[in-house]
Amino acid sequence: MSRLWVSILTLVIYGLAQFGVIILQLSGLFDNYSGKELVFAQIYTQVILFIIASFIIIIINHFIANPTSLEQQPKEKKRYAIGWALVGYFVVMIYQIIANMINIYLLGAPQSSPNTERLMKVAQEIPIFIILISVVGPILEEFVFRKVIFGEIYNMIQANKTIKFLIAGIVSSIIFSAAHSDPSFFIIYFGMGMIFSALYVYTKRIWVPILVHIMQNGFVVIIQVLVGPEKIKEMQESASFILNFLF
């Protein structure tokens, strides 16, 4: 199967998964629901659409006849993939801590992301939504933003590997950050996108950044759901007081 068609299908399927609920609602599928029942029906439908989209995208990406130059290079051995995923996870977590401090204390951004708070509220009310946030969401995003967008840009540029990585990484990470609809947290999403891209380039395996993304989102969900948003805000306020006292 031509890579062009696989890339187009990947983007189309991702778009349908994202906006499928809206399309189905306009078609009248949810007309018999109202109030809380409507919300539950929409969330369950969204999760199902994301799961189906993930399976289809994974399958069609196994049948690419003409892979990118990046995918044609020797891949990191499978036995090291988990190790690189763990390294990548710790790098992402350290970056987030530093970027959050810059974001809050230098740029004046809010301490918590409204987008994350909104998603966590849904997850607490409807636990099945955790599957979307923690597993299928990261799978779809990595195939779209890293394998398709980053990979195609990297493949098109005629330059040395560093220039190829920087241009493809910056462009795909800007799009990745913008897709999260959270401008105040741009540097966080952008940096994460660059780290995921670096892992993909180094290992040549898309499942490495996917695993890191799953671990990162899973950690956020566990902390938010188990600890609770109010306790987290108290901890953030305590940290803010200590930093203000020290500096």
Q: List pLDDT tens digits, range 50-108.
A: 999 999 999 999 999 889 989 999 999 988 999 999 999 999 999 999 998 898 888 87
Q: Evaluate whether 30 touches 42 at the Cβ level (below 8 Å).
A: yes
User: What pLDDT, on a 0 to 100 scale, did the predictor assign at position 152?
Assistant: 96
The answer, yes or no, to whether residue 151 has pLDDT greater than 70, is yes
141 is catalytic: yes
CA nearest 216: which of 116, 92, 38?
A: 92
User: What pLDDT, on a 0 to 100 scale, did the predictor assign at position 110?
Assistant: 75
The answer, yes or no, to whether residue 17 has pLDDT greater than 60, is yes
Q: Evaluate whether 210 touches 139 at the Cβ level (below 8 Å).
A: yes
The answer, yes or no, to whether residue 241 has pLDDT greater than 70, is no
State which of 25-34, 110-119, 204-213 shows the largest mean pLDDT: 204-213
The answer, yes or no, to whether residue 232 has pLDDT greater than 90, is no
Q: Of 76, 117, 125, 141, which residue is the catalytic one?
A: 141
**What is the pLDDT averaged over residues 209-216?**
97
Q: Evaluate whether 52 touches 172 at the Cβ level (below 8 Å).
A: no
Q: Evaluate whether 224 touches 113 at the Cβ level (below 8 Å).
A: no
Q: In whole angstroms, how far apart are CA 224 and each of 112, 142, 153, 177?
A: 11, 23, 36, 21
The answer, yes or no, to whether residue 240 has pLDDT greater than 50, is no
